[in-house]
Amino acid sequence: MIWLLLFCLQTTDKEAALALKRLDKALASDDDSSRASGVESLRLIRHESIRNRIIRIGDNGRASERVRAACADVLGEYSDDEVAAKSLALWTGDRSRLVAVRACQSLGSLKPDVARLHARSLNGLFHSKDDAVAKAAIMAAGVIRDRVNIKPLLDELALVQQKMAAILKAMGVGGCDGG
Amino acid sequence: MLTVEAKIKAGEEITDPDVGRYFSVAGSLQQALLSVTKQPHKDHRTWSAWWKKAGDSFKVPE
């Protein structure tokens, strides 16, 4: 019964084409917020052509970070899609904080078997100078639960502890060593 | 804005947000580790005690 319902909800090629037309219209707007909303509106419509278009927009360096962050949100809906996961993994290292954070969150929202294929891409972000990116990557690793993240998480915790110990020492407070 | 390390070197005052970020990141790291390993790491208690002690160092005595 559930499969029948899911089958009925499948987006047809025609519906996808119409959605892409609406997207083109939104992307032609002068207002960045409208462009991002146009992308976000595709969250509920799953179709290969839409996914591919979203990836192209997200990969486009000329698109605004708000629009590309919306692309990361939409790809998060493709929970069992390896192509979407691959792009999200790539975007976790984006120069834009907004895009990187949203890509980490979306990667964490994918089905574990798919997300695990790219769990390693998070390791380099635990040490990010940008706390928001570091925390998003750490939290995504916590959700994905892959062994490949354990040592980098442990290493980062040891490093943070060392830094904290140095601060305490410099301030002349507490009796904590480097741990 | 100077990093905490640079502030210490420059002899500047360290504020709550300066150290807060380390507590925040360390908390996230411990949570993530707990989730990934599916059981507390052998050092989990030691870490918790260490960070509690570090946090207490910043408390102003009443």
Domains and CATH numbers, chain A: 15-149 (1.25.10.10)
Written as six digits, the tokens of B25 are 């990141």
> Residues 47..66 of A with a Cβ closer than 8 Å to B: which?
none
**Chains A & B: contacts with CB separation below 8 Å:** 95
Say how far apart CA A168 and CA A166 lie, in whole Å.
5
Please state the ipTM of this predicted complex. 0.80
Helix axes B44-57, A150-171, angle to 10 degrees: 30
- Residues of A within 8 A of B57 (CB-CB) are 168, 173-174, 176
Contacts of A129 (CB under 8 A, 6+ apart): none
Q: What is the pLDDT of residue A20?
A: 94
pLDDT of residue A2: 56
Contact B47 A135 (CB under 8 A): no
Q: Tell me how far apart the alpha carbons of residues B33 and A99 are, in angstroms, rounded to a whole number.
A: 25
The boundaries of the domain holding residue B39 are: 4-57
Subunit contact B26:A157, Cβ cutoff 8 A: yes
Number of domains in chain B: 1
CA–CA dist A118, A147 (Å, integer): 12
Lowest mean pLDDT among A25-39, A66-80, A111-125, B25-39: B25-39
Whether B22 is covered by a domain: the verdict is: yes
Read off φ and ψ for residue A23, nearest 5 degrees.
-65, -45
